[in-house]
């Protein structure tokens, strides 16, 4: 069976999460957020993010982003984000379908640079998009992390310009582990107004959350929660997953393991000829630049995501390989063996190397 590193979503739900869902599936409970699990999740999150915080469970990350950004903008307003932001590159124009104009800022490493926001604004010019929200992704779509200092500078700059700040935190746990800080230090403490908090990429089954840190940034959010189709009826089954990830810092342990395996993978790939690790591996994503021939041979044994095709004739591929909470170090070593075999097979006058793929991954897959 092919080793699948195409996404961290290919990982199964953590057993503790499944156990929590099964435990919550006992008897009857109030719906639409009135259940004890959702109230407890909000209490636990307030202890992390601060007493003004509110929490809304949603079905998925795209829904969390669209719900938050729709609430943060008026009909004529727009959202400034990195040119590689997930809301732009990987949500099938969901923000645009919701009526949101995205204004793109250069982000060569996935990050918007502090001190550059004003050049994308045109206040008072009715012919230009009127930006009202800065949306940041942490960790970024290119596997890098904003430093705490840069986040603080960007939030201060945005607020000075009259913008609210949204943080897409689908992989916020991975960034917190890398930077050695808490969720609050990456959000509340630096001035973020609203967070799309991810769970499913870090051991959850399904569902995410919108965490509001500044209530004034999201007028009408409670009504939009239902209006955009993101209010689960049985919210207990979303909130209980979040509680399981918070218990004993499971979210931290899952993200720490994923990050460590990504570094193991990046270090190994960097030692191979004709493989260039193009971006810093600061979370659980590895970006490797290889020839088209190597990519084709590797694809026989390892599933990756082709991020970009480069070269005048498309002779290079930028591959993204994602690790997750369940990634076995032995599987990383097998991927490296397959990559070495793919590189070595193209060398002249050399016996073709053999890649021994396992018959199954180390953990069950959905």
Q: Does residue 271 sit in the same domain as residue 309?
A: yes
Expressed as residue numbers, the domain containing 276 is 3-7+250-344
pLDDT at 313: 79
pLDDT (0 to 100) of residue 269: 98
Looking at the fold, whether 267 and 232 belong to one and the same domain comes out as no
Supply 41's token pair.
């999740």
Note whether residue 354 is domain-resident: no
Using the structure block, give the residue that is written with the tokens 């609430």. Answer: 71
Contact between residue 165 and residue 73 where contact means Cβ atoms under 8 Å apart: no
Question: Looking at residue 362, what DSSP letter applies?
Answer: S
Separation CA 229–CA 222 (nearest Å): 12
Residue ending a domain, choose from 217, 233, 248: 248
Residues 223 and 287 in one domain: no
Same domain, 122 and 257: no
Provide the pLDDT for residue 310: 87
> Is 352 among the domain residues?
no
Count structural domains, the chain.
2
113 and 68 co-located in one domain: yes
Domain shared by 270 and 329, yes or no:
yes
Residues 156, 278 within the same domain? no
User: Do the domain assignments include residue 359?
Assistant: no
The radius of gyration of the chain's CA atoms, rounded to the nearest angstrom, is 21
Token pair, residue 267, equals 């270090």
Last residue of a domain, one of 214, 248, 282: 248
Same domain, 20 and 153: yes
- The residues that bridge with 56 in the sheet, in sequence order, are 210
- Residue 157 in tokens: 């700059």
Q: What is the CATH number of the domain that holds 58?
A: 3.40.640.10
Decide if 364 is inside a domain.
Answer: no
Q: Which of 248, 267, 300 is the last residue in one of the domains?
A: 248
Tell me, yes or no, whether 180 and 81 share the same domain: yes
Query: How far does the chain reach from its first CA to its final CA, in angstroms?
Result: 14
For residue 61, being part of any structural domain is answered with yes
Q: What is the pLDDT of residue 154?
A: 98
User: Do 166 and 197 belong together in one domain?
Assistant: yes
**Helix (H), strand (E) at residue 333:** helix 329-344
Whether 210 is covered by a domain: the verdict is yes
207, 259: one domain: no
Strands (E), the chain: 3-4, 54-58, 77-82, 101-105, 130-137, 164-169, 194-197, 208-212, 276-277, 285-291, 302-303, 305-310, 316-322
Residues 265 and 241 in one domain: no
Percent helix, strand and coil across the chain, each to the nearest 5 = 40, 20, 40
pLDDT at 346: 66
- Examine residue 239 and state whether it is found in any structural domain, yes or no: yes
Taking each helix axis as running N to C, give the angle between helix 250-270 and helix 172-179, from 0 to 180 degrees, rounded to the nearest 10.
70
| Token pair in block for residue 326 | 């369940």
Residues of the chain short of pLDDT 70, as ranges, are 346, 348-354, 356-366
* Contacts of 71 by beta carbon, 8 Å cutoff, 6+ apart: 194, 217, 218, 219, 220, 221, 224
Q: What is the model's pLDDT at position 354?
A: 59
Residue 128 has φ and ψ, to the nearest 5°, of -115, 150
Q: Which two three-digit tokens encode residue 323?
A: 């690790």
pTM of the model: 0.93
> How are strands ordered across the β-sheet holding 101-105?
54-58, 208-212, 194-197, 164-169, 130-137, 77-82, 101-105
Q: What is the CATH number of the domain that holds 271?
A: 3.90.1150.10
Domain assignment present for 353: no
């Amino acid at each position: 069976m092919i080793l699948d590193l195409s996404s961290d979503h290919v990982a199964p739900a953590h057993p503790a999460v499944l156990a929590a869902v099964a435990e919550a599936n006992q008897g009857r409970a109030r719906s639409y957020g009135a259940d004890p699990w959702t109230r407890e999740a909000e209490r636990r999150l307030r202890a992390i993010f601060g007493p003004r915080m509110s929490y809304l469970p949603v079905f998925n990350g795209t829904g969390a982003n669209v719900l938050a950004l729709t609430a943060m903008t008026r009909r004529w307003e727009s959202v400034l984000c990195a040119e590689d932001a997930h809301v732009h590159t990987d949500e099938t124009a969901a923000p645009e379908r919701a009526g949101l104009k995205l204004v793109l800022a250069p982000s060569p490493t996935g990050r918007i640079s502090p001190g550059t926001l004003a050049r994308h604004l045109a206040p008072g010019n009715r012919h230009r998009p009127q930006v009202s929200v800065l949306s940041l992704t942490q960790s970024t779509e290119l596997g890098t992390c904003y430093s705490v200092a840069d986040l603080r500078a960007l939030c201060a700059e945005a607020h000075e310009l009259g913008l609210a700040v949204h943080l897409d935190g689908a992989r916020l746990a991975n960034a917190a582990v890398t930077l050695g800080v808490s969720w609050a230090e990456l959000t509340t403490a630096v001035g973020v107004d609203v967070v799309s908090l991810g769970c499913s990429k870090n051991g959850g089954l399904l569902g995410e959350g919108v965490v509001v840190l500044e209530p004034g940034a999201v007028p009408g959010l409670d009504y939009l929660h239902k209006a955009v189709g993101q209010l689960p009826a049985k919210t207990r089954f979303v909130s209980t997953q979040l509680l399981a990830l918070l218990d004993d810092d499971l979210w931290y342990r899952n993200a720490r393991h994923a990050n460590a395996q990504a570094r193991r993978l990046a270090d190994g790939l960097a030692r191979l000829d004709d493989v260039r690790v193009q971006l810093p591996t600061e979370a659980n994503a590895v970006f490797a630049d290889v020839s088209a021939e190597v990519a084709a041979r590797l694809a026989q044994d390892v599933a990756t995501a082709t991020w970009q095709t480069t070269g005048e004739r498309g002779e290079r591929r930028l591959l993204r390989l994602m690790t997750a909470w369940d990634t076995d170090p032995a599987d990383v070593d097998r991927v490296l063996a397959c990559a070495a075999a793919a590189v070595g097979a193209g060398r002249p006058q050399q016996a073709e190397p053999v890649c021994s793929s396992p018959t199954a991954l180390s953990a069950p897959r959905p």
